[in-house]
Amino acid sequence: MKVEARVFIALVPFFLIVGVGYGLWSDWEAVGSITVLLLAGLVGMIGFYLALVSRRIDARPEDNPYAEIEDGAGDQGVFSPGSWWPLVVAGGAAVGFLSPAIGWWLMPIGVVLAAIGLVGLLLEFSHGQHAH
């Protein structure tokens, strides 16, 4: 995870420079300038989170420059065998993102749809065939 953290943290100065450059070029146009500068903050938060996680977990084969391919063999995690809930969440997000273009009355529908999908996704392993 250290490599991923370094990649994200290295992108922060890039987005800061691009954000300031875009702001100067566009006379500090509100939406674009703020968006690129906020992107620098979001990338920094992801890099900071990955750096914290890399301290808590053991080194992976990807972090060892002398690792062999077979060092990464075995289970890679626990994954859902097949779920329709991410599609419901994506549908709710799509409806929510369409609401400024179509009409704000659509936003509550998108929020409710995304919330239903998120609850279904989080509780997927609590009941039914794949319950733990």
The answer to whether the beta carbons of residues 40 and 16 sit under 8 Å apart is: yes
- Statement: residue 130 has pLDDT above 70: no
**Mean pLDDT of the 105-119 span:** 96
The answer to whether the beta carbons of residues 115 and 92 sit under 8 Å apart is: yes
Q: What is the pLDDT of residues 44-77, one digit of tens each?
A: 999 999 999 989 888 888 888 898 889 888 887 7
* Chain-centroid distance, C-alpha 61: 23
Each as own residue / partner, the long-range contacts of residues 110-113 (CB below 8 Å, 24 or more positions apart, any chain) are 113/88
Tokens of 11: 């992108």
- Statement: residue 24 has pLDDT above 80: yes
Residue reference for tokens 């146009």: 29
User: What gap in Å lies between CA 116 and CA 84, rounded to an integer?
Assistant: 12
User: What gap in Å lies between CA 107 and CA 32, rounded to an integer?
Assistant: 23
Q: What angle do CA 56, 62, 63 make, to 5 degrees?
A: 55
**Mean pLDDT of the 118-130 span:** 82
